[in-house]
Structure 1
Amino acid sequence: MSTSPRSGRSRPDTRAIGEAKERLAESFLIAQGLRLVARNQRSRFGEIDLVMRDEAILVFVEVRYRRSTRFGTPAATVDARKQQRLILAARHYLHRHPTQLACRFDVVAISAEDDIQWIRQAFTL
């Protein structure tokens, strides 16, 4: 547990929570028939949480978690700016790992209760 500098209260490590939610999303997608290709693909443009394969489609997955919807839903946080960063990161990935597969961007939004919303083809290039 780490301590918030403002409140002095303890809170779980956000990195550990993020990793746990990414694993939850990965398990969910595997149960839906997707296959894991890679996770946490970092570039100077940003990070792709999961790269998966859905039959003949390469899927770039953004996992979003929010403890509260007070400032919007997890899915709503994938705004135009975030989409552009994901597109650039995906292009970088494809440059390093060329493929003839079609590609798509999915979002897995996870609530505080671990309810999962899977948005296929959340946005396009």
Structure 2
Amino acid sequence: MTKTPPSVPADELSPGQVRRAGAWAVGNREGELFAVSRRCRHQLGDLSQGTIDADGCLVCPWHQARYDVTDGRMVEGPKGFLGYHGRTPGYTELVRGYSQVLKLRVARAVRRGAEIVVHRRDAS
């Protein structure tokens, strides 16, 4: 039995938007589609509710950790009461460090008719 890949309606994904497709956060970065795993490596915030910044990074809605959607790497650590303004020295660096090993998974997001379909990189 073939499993249907996760998808999102294409008309719900205009440039600058991010949506949920199963376990994936699917976005439109100025016409370039992407799909990454949905959970932030900091405190598991839902990245499908995040935003895309001016640099094309996916920004977590909880503590503004920023991710490169091409390789899943955290490019800027979380902000907020634990990591911001040095209230917990070294915390942001710790999170950024382990997120380099535990990167977001990256998949292909492809338009198929009226849908944006997510395909794992190791799947055809």
- Shorter-chain TM band: 0.3 to 0.5
What TM-score does the superposition give when structure 2 sets the normalisation length? Answer: 0.32
Between 1 and 2, higher relative CO (CA 8 Å, sep ≥ 6) is seen in 2
Answer 1 or 2: which has greater helix percent. 1
